[in-house]
Amino acid sequence: MSSPSPPPVLLFGYEASTFTIKIRHCLRLKQIPYTFIPVPSMLPRPLFTKTFGLTYRKIPVLAIGRDIYCDTSLITEALEHFFPESEGYGTLYPRATDGRDHRGLVRGWASYWTDRALFRVTTGLIPAAVWRTHFGVDRANLIGHPLDPDKLEAKLPENLARLDTQLSILEPQFTDLGEGWIFSTPSPSSADISLFYQLQWGRDIAKGRLIGNLTAGGTSDTAADGADAVFNAERYPGLWSWYERLERFMERLPGVERKNAEWEGVLKGLQESPALGRKSLLLPTPRNGHVELDEKCGLREGAVVSIAPDDTGRSSPTIGKIVALSPEEVVITPVELKDGPPQVTVRIHFPRVGFTIRPYKADTEAVAKL
């Protein structure tokens, strides 16, 4: 008897999204076939609200069948779990050449440095023309305060200097790397991808590439010098050599992305896809949830909660009923929105790191629709 086909993997994002680029690299490194579904760089995104009842506004979002994963920190873990090396896929966490497992360190490297501290530096390289479009208004709403394009333009040299500081900190890590990879792994890991995508996107965005897509046509791509003055082979030879090697490595991998899929067919495939079983509902963790602590926070199976990032996008929480909870993950079924029930019955997964999860005091009618 043949084994069932794996559920469809869908990546929702847009071309200029730095975190979409990250997950594209992860999918290619692991050699997981997937379909790319483009969504707007700005709100509204009716595809999310109508299809899944999802009000979360950050990108990307990944669907594995009818299970929806939000935030790249959780998406990478889901990809590694459901598409393991033992089944012929690549791995994001190869052991170091001395046999040590640096997975926890690699996850922290991404979550607390490249995806946050370094990302704040690279976003500071976005040309001022971007902030003078409607994209600037949209991102001001995301951040929670107005953005002044003139002030942001004046800060470009300062932000380029901050990138130079980050590269200076990194360079010793790469000086004696030779043909190896970060954390002494025999093949690229999530650590390599996490640094590579930020530098790749930062170089492109500083030059004015991708800004047409970023602003939905609000401005046009340019060909400025960008970050070339600080990130080059002469100034940081070790880092530059690693960057070019990884670029070549990724280019040699077979492509796994399917584009231009007809949405109605994709939607039908989602609706017919079996949900992940209860056993597979939560990603594995070293320990089960701390029930007593979660109870004190009002978090228990069946509780209605509000989930939002703890940095930006807090004004667009996702409301739903807890289906499962672990020390690292929360899974909910979303509340029915005013437009009616979603087209696909889904479970939505969020990481607990970087997110605020609180009991939701909804009116009786809203809760009754769950």
Residue 367 has pLDDT above 80, yes or no: no
Residues 349 and 274 in one domain: yes
Cis omega before residue 341 (within 30°)?
Answer: no
Residues 233 and 115 in one domain: yes
CA distance 351 to 282: 11
Q: Which residue type occupies 152?
A: L
pLDDT the model gives residue 278: 60
Query: Contact 356/310 with Cβ under 8 angstroms?
Result: yes
Instruction: Give the Å distances, CA to CA, from 88 to 32, 187, 219.
Output: 10, 15, 43
In a domain, 272, yes or no: yes
Instruction: Please report where in the chains the tokens 């796994």 appear, as a residue.
Output: 256
Q: What is the CATH number of the domain that holds 188?
A: 1.20.1050
What is the H or E stretch that residue 241 is in? helix 237-252
Q: What range defines the domain where residue 19 resides?
A: 9-89+256-290+297-368
In a domain, 157, yes or no: yes
Q: Which residue type occupies 201?
A: W
Q: Which residue type occupies 248?
A: R
Could you list the beta-strand ranges (E) of the chain: 9-13, 34-38, 61-64, 67-70, 257-258, 304-309, 318-325, 329-334, 347-351, 355-359
Residues 19 and 153 in one domain: no
Residues 83 and 137 in one domain: no
Domain count, the chain: 2
Report residue 146's pLDDT band, with 50, 70 and 90 as the boundaries. very high
- Give 274-331 pLDDT, tens digit per residue: 876 665 789 999 999 999 999 999 999 999 999 999 998 888 899 999 999 999 999 9
Q: Which residue type occupies 74?
A: L
Q: What is the CATH number of the domain that holds 286?
A: 3.40.30.110
Whole-prediction pTM value?
0.95
Last residue of a domain, one of 252, 282, 317: 252
In a domain, 338, yes or no: yes
Residues 305 and 356 in one domain: yes
- Beta strand 61-64 pairing with 304-309: unpaired
